[in-house]
Structures are given as C-alpha cells and as structure tokens.
C-alpha cells in the first residue's frame, strides 16, 4: 500500500526529463528570461485595456474607476445603421485582396524559377521587390498624382479626346485602386519567400522527370508546385487574418466622404467614432469583434488544411 502511494505521487518521467533539461541548460533560460519578461509586460500587459469594451471609460476616473456597462458597446455596434455596410466593405476588400494578391507572388516566383538568363532574372526580381520599401503614404501620394482630376492619367485621356474621370471621388474606382496598389507593393516581397522555398526542391527530381519524358508543365505541376505547398499553406493561413483587418493606413489615406459607400471599413469607422469621438469603449469593443473573427478564420483554415492536406505537401501553424 505505501509503495502504491509513493508511485502515485512520483513525478512522471516526462516532467522529470523536462526538469533535468532545464537544470542542465539553466544559463540559457536565464539569458532568455529578460526578453520573456519584457514580452509579458509589453505584449500581454496592455491586454488589460480590453476591459474598456465593458466600461464607460472616463479619463479622470481611470480604467478601474469607470463604471461597468456590460455589453452596451457591442450592442451599439451591432445596431449601428452602418454596421452591414462596414462589414460588407471590410470583407469585400479583404477577400478581393486575398483573391488577387495571394496568387500573384506564386505566379511570379514560378515564372522567375523558369528563367535561365541570370541577369534578367535578378533584374526582374529587384524591380518587383523595390515597391515593398516604399512607405504606404508615398504609394498613396503616387496614386493621387496619377489618378487625380489633373493627374497624369486624366491628362492622357483629355489629350486623346476623352472626358476626365474622377477616379478618387468615385466609389466604383476605390476598390480597384486599393487592390491594385497593394498587389503592386507586396507581390515582389512575397515572391522572394516562394523563391526561397523553391531552392529546397531537389534538382535530381527534375532530372529524373526529364528522363522519364515529363514535359515542363508536368514538372511544374507534380514537382515544383508540391514543393512549395507547405509555404503556400502557412502564408495562406496568415493571410486569412488580414481579411478583417484591412490595412487602415491605405484606406484612410485613399478614401474620402464621396467614397464612403465602398471605402469605409471597420477600422476607419472606429477611428472616427472611437478615437476622434473619444468613445474608447466603443473602439475597444469593435477591435475585439475584429480579433475574434480573425481568430476564427485562422483556426478554421489551419484545421481544414491539416485535415485535407498531407504532411509532405501541407504545413500548419500548430
């Protein structure tokens, strides 16, 4: 009987291995400790501010002294007359950016991988990568210079006998301008990631396929594409979180009251209502709503890819 009690209270072998491992490399853990503490303070510490979503925040009373209001701000957002317009615009911009922006780097990387002229390949790669270093505000400034009523595009239209088009003041033109500028800016950067993944593919596979009579298309479909599938799956999961967190800077700098119908998204509305209007509880509640939707999309995509794909061709976050 005493032996059984001792066995029940004994530390499992797994935990013993962990404890012995930590004791052996305690100096490395001590070196990591300051960074971990800093991450907890500055990464998780500010999450206390999520309480603002359930309080009628008053600057003088502070976070703990402000009265509780429960789900008042969430209910106010769901009953807002602009709720459906904001959700529609946010999901449309995010989904269209994913549909047009996600495949482009893959296509560019596959095309560059087939180029055998080294200097031309490096030139195209450098030119496509340069827009990534341009700040968003500069990109939007370039759009204004090109597509304003007295911009380059309208001057060309007038010289060819066509009337001026108010690109920046037309709701129908906002989405093409937003998506086009985002694709142009980030395609080269993400193509670098896929090119790096392509270097991991064993070149002997191509040689064997060529000896078996496989065409260029077959080598691309059965060797190249499966070789970068783990990278594609991980980046796709991470990109899904951006569907609801549409880039605030680009939209804020590009939109105007005339384009609110198609341009106003949750982030810009929260800025006007929560930050400028000083309703911090409302802004926090909408932020939590955005974060929950992004989490659901990310976890859902990760689960689906893990169940559908195989370990050889699919990678997941956890």
DSSP 55: B
Do 233 and 304 form a contact (C-beta atoms < 8 A)? no
How many domains is the chain built from?
A: 2
Query: What is the per-residue pLDDT across 23-39, written as a single tens digit (0 to 9) for each?
Result: 888 888 889 899 889 98
- What is the number of other CB atoms lying within 10 angstroms of the CB of residue 141? 13
201 and 144 together in one domain? yes
Query: What is the per-residue pLDDT across 243-280, written as a single tens digit (0 to 9) for each?
Result: 777 777 888 888 888 888 888 888 888 888 877 877 88
DSSP 258: G
- 239-242's contacts with Cβ under 8 Å and 24+ in sequence apart are 239/98, 239/102, 240/98, 240/294, 240/297, 240/298, 240/301, 241/294, 241/295, 241/297, 241/298, 242/94, 242/97, 242/98, 242/294
78 and 186 together in one domain? yes
* Whole-number Å distance between alpha carbons of 126 and 133: 11
pLDDT of residue 5: 47
Residue 65 lies in a domain: no
Beta carbons within 8 Å of 224's beta carbon, 6+ residues apart: 110, 113, 198, 201
Query: What is the per-residue pLDDT across 161-172, written as a single tens digit (0 to 9) for each?
Result: 888 888 888 888
Quote the tokens at residue 191. 């193509």
Mean pLDDT of 48-61: 83
pTM reported for the whole predicted model: 0.79
pLDDT of residue 1: 46
- What helix, strand, coil percent values describe the chain, rounded to 5? 75, 0, 25
* Whole-number Å distance between alpha carbons of 118 and 162: 43
* Whole-number Å distance between alpha carbons of 93 and 263: 9
* Whole-number Å distance between alpha carbons of 277 and 283: 10
Residue 36 lies in domain: 2-54
- Read off the pLDDT band of 301 (50, 70, 90): confident
pLDDT of residue 294: 80
215 and 251 together in one domain? yes
Residue 316 lies in a domain: no
In degrees, to the nearest 5, what angle opens at C-alpha 182 toward C-alphas 180 and 185?
110
pLDDT of residue 105: 92
Residue 102 lies in a domain: yes
Quote the tokens at residue 34. 């300051």
Quote the tokens at residue 226. 């499966």
Residue 293 lies in a domain: yes
pLDDT of residue 6: 46
* Whole-number Å distance between alpha carbons of 22 and 15: 11
Average pLDDT, the chain: 83
48 and 103 together in one domain? no
């Amino acid at each position: 009987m005493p032996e059984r009690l001792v066995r029940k209270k004994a530390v499992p072998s797994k935990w013993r291995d962990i404890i012995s491992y930590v004791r052996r490399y305690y100096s490395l853990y001590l070196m990591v400790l300051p960074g971990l503490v800093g991450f907890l303070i500055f990464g998780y510490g500010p999450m206390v501010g999520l309480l603002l979503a359930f309080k009628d925040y008053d600057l003088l009373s502070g976070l703990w002294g402000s009265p509780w209001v429960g789900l008042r701000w969430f209910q106010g957002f769901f009953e807002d007359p602009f709720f459906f317009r904001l959700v529609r615009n946010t999901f449309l911009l995010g989904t269209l950016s994913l549909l047009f922006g996600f495949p482009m780097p893959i296509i560019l990387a596959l095309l560059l991988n087939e180029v055998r002229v080294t200097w031309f390949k490096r030139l195209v790669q450098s030119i496509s990568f340069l827009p990534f270093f341009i700040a968003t505000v500069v990109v939007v400034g370039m759009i204004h210079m090109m597509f304003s009523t007295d911009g380059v595009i309208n001057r060309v239209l007038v010289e060819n006998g066509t009337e001026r088009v108010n690109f920046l003041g037309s709701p129908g033109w906002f989405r093409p301008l937003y998506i086009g500028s985002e694709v142009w800016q980030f395609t080269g950067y993400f193509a670098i990631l896929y090119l790096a993944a392509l270097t991991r593919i064993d070149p002997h596979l191509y040689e064997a396929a060529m000896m078996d009579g496989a065409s260029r298309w077959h080598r691309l479909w059965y060797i190249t594409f499966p070789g970068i599938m783990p990278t594609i799956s991980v980046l796709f999961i991470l990109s899904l979180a951006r569907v609801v967190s549409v880039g605030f800077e680009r939209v804020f700098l590009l939109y105007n009251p005339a384009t609110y119908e198609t341009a106003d998204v949750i982030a810009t509305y929260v800025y006007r209502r929560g930050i400028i209007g000083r309703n911090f509880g409302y802004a926090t509640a909408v932020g939590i709503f955005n974060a929950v939707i992004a989490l659901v999309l990310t976890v859902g995509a990760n689960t689906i890819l893990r169940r559908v794909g195989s370990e050889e061709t699919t990678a997941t976050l956890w």
